Amino acid sequence: MGRDHILKETFFLSRSPIFMDADHGKLVADRYNGVMAIVEILLKNMKSGIMNVIKYINQWVIFGMVFMGIMIMVPVGADAFCLVNDTNVSIHGQSLDRTAFEADIAPGGSVCCDDCLKNNQSIASLLVVTGYVPVSQNSQPGWNAECRTRVSAQGQVIITGTASQIFCIVGTSR
């Protein structure tokens, strides 16, 4: 049984009169070759289309990887710094610039400001005091001792000393 016979039977089932007659064997072969040529063209076009889709996807994947690489390198959001109280008295720390940092820290404690340095700001100016009395209607504001310092992103300031004299020691890692 050759392929022409199978083809004839297949088309016989579909009731196509041109394939039912055995005398048209050449026509069957020509039609078969024509169908196969069309199938080959379709497969080539599908392969070409699939390759174009893969190429297109690869371009977007590469674009996405480059974009993410750039976004990782660009500082977004903010960077942190920490203030560490290594004294035996409470301290009060606050920023002297636009970082909006303010904290009261118990002896032995620490506070980190995770979102204080923003908009490409790389350094915060801090005032640290002991005996802090905030401004209010019932009291006179003030403090006993102070130190002023500048801290960079991912840095820390360790406060040492006593209630009457403190020191700001800047470190680069925490």
> Which helix (H) or strand (E) element contains residue 152?
strand 145-152
Report pLDDT digits (tens) over 141-156: 788 999 999 998 888 9
Give the whole-angstrom CA distance, residue 6 versus residue 29: 11
Does the pTM of the predicted model rise above 0.95?
A: no
CATH of 78-171, one of 1.10.8, 2.30.30, 1.10.260, 2.60.40: 2.60.40
Tens digits of residue pLDDT in 88-101: 999 999 988 877 78
Q: Position 161: which residue type?
A: G
Angle at 123 between CA 145 and CA 95, to 5 degrees: 40
Parse the chain into domains and list their residue ranges.
Answer: 3-72, 78-171
